[in-house]
Copies of this chain bind each other. A is one copy, B any other.
Amino acid sequence: MGDNICLTGHKKEIMAVHDAMDVLSGKWKISIISSICYYNGRRFSDILNDVHGISNKMLSKELKDLEINKLIKRTVFDTQPVTVQYNLTEYGCTLRTIIDNLAHWGMEHRKAIIGK
C-alpha cells in the first residue's frame, strides 16, 4: 500500500523516457544526431559516411523527422552544386549530455564484449 504511492511516482519517469524515445527512436536517429553534434554541423554526404549502413533514402527521411521536431536545422548554401548543412538547434543541443553518456557507455560496452 505504501508501495502504490511509490509506484505512481515512477510511472511519471517511465512515461518521460517514453516521450523522449518518441522523438529519438528509430534505428538511426541517435547516430545521426551524434554525427551532427560532434562535428558541430555536418553535410548530407558526410553524415551518410559517418552513420555506417544508412541509405540516402533513410537519411533523408530521418533528417526530415528531426527537423520537424526542431532538433536540427537545415541550411542550404547556394554553391555549385548546392551544399546543405545540418546543425543542432539550441533545443537539439540539450541532447548533448545524453549523447555523451551513450558514447561513453558504448565504449565500455565494446570493451565488455571484446574482453569476454
Interface residues of A (CB under 8 A from B): 7, 10-21, 23, 25-27, 30-31, 34-35, 38-39, 50-52, 91, 94-95, 97-99, 101-110, 112
Contacts and interface: CB of A to CB of B under 8 A. Distances in A.
24 contacts: A12-B107, A13-B34, A13-B103, A14-B35, A14-B103, A15-B52, A16-B103, A16-B110, A17-B30, A17-B99, A17-B102, A17-B103, A17-B106, A18-B31, A18-B106, A20-B105, A21-B27, A23-B109, A25-B26, A25-B27, A91-B112, A94-B105, A98-B102, A98-B105
A32 to B, nearest CB: 9
How many copies make up the complex? 2
Given A14-B50, A21-B102, A97-B101, 6 more contacts: A7-B39, A14-B51, A16-B102, A19-B109, A20-B102, A20-B109
